[in-house]
Structure 1
């Protein structure tokens, strides 16, 4: 059951979650605090953001809010799309 939300530019950052139970990998991506989305929201995007840059790096990605069949919402950005790395 996909949502039909528009794509928008979203600022995200890499981080290490306190618990990785049920998650793959050590470093993950989340929306930045103070933005339009909760920092608890997962982000699906290019793995390069979590492997090629230091933890805490911020990025601007083109993403949309969607959901999985089990109901869990997340932000989705195609891994091929360009990413702006913030200083």
Structure 2
């Protein structure tokens, strides 16, 4: 069931390596950043480029909305076609 009452807003997210990948596509995923409007355990459906073309820990700003699937939980959705802004990349010298 969609959530038509929810509107789109700017959301800051980041890439991370998922501990549990059962039922998920790949090891690197996107989640809301800590301290934002959404909990960090919320999944984000977005462009695969965000997890494949940038290093883990990169932060992005996306135009997204909270939605859900019938029989599933809530998640943030943004079209894979929409532009996203790169806010920061992890410092490679810190490794």
Give the TM bin, normalised by the shorter chain.
over 0.9
**SS of equivalent to 2:62:** strand
Structure 1, gaps ≥5 residues long: none
2:60 aligns with: 59
TM-score of the superposed pair, with normalisation by structure 1:
0.96
Moved over 4 A (4+): none
* Equivalent residues in 2 for 1:30-69, closer than 5 Å: 30-69=31-70
Matched residue SS, 1:21? coil
Displacement of 1:10 in angstroms is 0.1
* Paired residues, number: 87
RMSD of the alignment, in Å? 0.7
Q: Which has the larger radius of gyration?
A: 2
Tell me the TM-score normalized by structure 2.
0.89
Distance in 2, Cα, partners of 1:78 & 1:22:
21
User: Offset at 1:24?
Assistant: 1.1
Point out where structure 2 has 5 or more consecutive residues left out of the alignment. 89-95
Give the secondary structure class of the aligned counterpart of 1:49: helix
Distance 1:82 1:46 in 2: 9
